[in-house]
Structure 1
Amino acid sequence: MSNKHHLSFTYLSQEDLLDAGCFDIRMVMDIAEKAMLEFERHHVIFPEKIVQIFNQATQERINCLPATLLDEKVCGVKWVSVFPMNPIEHDQQNLSAIFILSEIETGFPICVMEGTLASNMRVAAIGGLAAKYLARQDSEVIGFIGAGEQAKMHLIAMKAVCPSLKQCRVAAHVVKHEEQFIAELSRLYPEMEFVSTNTNLQKAIEDADILVTATSAQAPLLKATWVKPGTFYSHIGGWEDEFEVALQADKIVCDDWETVTHRTQTLSRMYQEGLINANNIHADLHELVSGKKAGRESQTERIYFNAVGLAYIDIAIAMAMFNRAREKQKGTQLDLQQSMVFEHLGLKSKVKL
């Protein structure tokens, strides 16, 4: 006889998600666009994230990002750690994440899932969506400063929205990271030309049509003089570019300007120093998705895009992955409880009185 107080949830490992076909950048971009439209309709609850920084110099931190999708009747949270020194000090990835999803009719959890895949894909998908509206559609050369997981994910997203891309240049802190980037991504895109710049940042950027900075550096690596007219620049990390890169841009677009003002990116620093304000921001990305504001309007515009990450998009992506995994019958069902505490037989032997 089943106990009505029995509670269980689905656990999804990264391998479960991969086996279910969740490494699907087009699905993730589609979900992100739909989530932005729901945000405009006020169908999401989107609190500010909680940040715990353990090292101001390296920005080692753990973040807690909650959001609720009212139409989906699901509340979720992403618990994500960012430890930039991990690759150097421990030969480990610098980001790890986990999601918890709960339904909001009774409040019980329905899924706990590995979140690094979804988190990395969300960052890249937002960059890709921005490129869809802001990059030149005849873009042929993409240049990366940084060669880690985010750079790799971004190439997948950028290639999806800009199939005209023919050459990829990459500059990293050490040559072996450039070589690893090329070895891994050239298998996915054998038709593309990949160029290792031997850590020469300028060589990666000059004359490129799309620029991506994906580093953990807290220094202005990207120089304004390297950015040609007509370029689309996707800024991912913290302080990765000279202030002049933004000041010379014809348009500045954010995923959410209000959120940017509370963070540590280049634009955040400029805002705090009084160099820019809301009047300098052309649009938030959801306004381009809904058509309220224009994207690229000329071939010569320099366009600067900065995303800091929005929890409601993370949760929407996690929910889509959960649904796909269920369809594919992937994952493990785990018990939260068999019954309520005082329903357990033999409880007396387990209680310290």
Structure 2
Amino acid sequence: MSDSAVLPGKTATGAGDKARGRIEFAAVTKAYGAAKAVDAIDLKIPASTYCCLLGPSGCGKTTSLRMLAGHEIATSGDILLDNVNVTNFAPARRGTAMMFQNYALFPHLTVEENVAFSLKMKRENRIERLNRARAMLRVVEMERFAKRLPSQLSGGQQQRVALARALITQPSALLLDEPLSALDPFLRLRVRGELRKLQKSLGISFVHVTHSQDEALALADLVVLMNVGRIEQQGTAQDVFSRPRTAFVARFIGGHNVIDLGDKAVAVRTDRVALVRGGEVTASSREATVTGAEYAGNGFSIQLADDRGGDLLALVPEETFHARPFEEGERVTVSWAPSDAHVLEGGAS
């Protein structure tokens, strides 16, 4: 996709332009009877931000996205977009556009007709709406496929068409529900890079729901990690990964050991753990038994069972492992620098 994409009818966002897509959830709850899918969340997403709502199934991320889109109505609380309270607005009045997980393209319509469909519903002149559709297809580099049917496109091409169809309404915020889940791993990497470039060039907010930690860390200006209807932690990708607030965050985001020290629990990155044969046990180490080893691409992941009943992981460089491999059943001392131990709120549970 073009690095200088602009929504047809809009100018690129610059220093003197008003940024769009400032979103706020103020004590928003969504309840289904006694069950709360989303429980009094407070969240501010600055304008022109790529935000990923991350978490396991059932954590409330998709419900939050659907409330922002207007496909669900909040039980209580307020949702604001660009300082307008849109809590009870119909979806078409909100200034958002949603791209669904399955793309939902009409199989009997051509690519350009799919993109122009929302303009047809607004009774816009056929020539004008198709011209606008072709302009939007240029933005996502799909103009040469304008006359094809969706069945004649690859998965990645269908996703671009769905993206163009959402953007043609000129939204302040684009909402994406697991947009990469149907793509193969190679294409997923390529498309997520294209999404990031497109968001930056358009200058609007993208709110992207995913259960993939790698996806959120690669894409987001703001990562919002949810758990059982609440926001467990929010911040930049680096903040959330390097300074997890709770044991849940450390475990879900990956790449960390959660270690119970008795009076507190700490998170230590797996690449900051050292394995020593016959090392001394201190306040920053413990004895463990090797239970397995897996090649991880950037080293070997050594699985360990410590003598206090915990499971640990250590990422060992390839050259270190090949020089003298760690064998299953071998006894080692697992150690870490005190400065690499990040104290967690709420203990190890």
Structure ranking higher in helix proportion = 1
Fold match (TM-score > 0.5): no
TM-score, normalised via structure 1 length:
0.27
Asked which structure has the greater CA Rg, the reply is 2
Higher relative contact order (CA 8 A, sep 6+): 1
TM-score, normalised via structure 2 length:
0.28
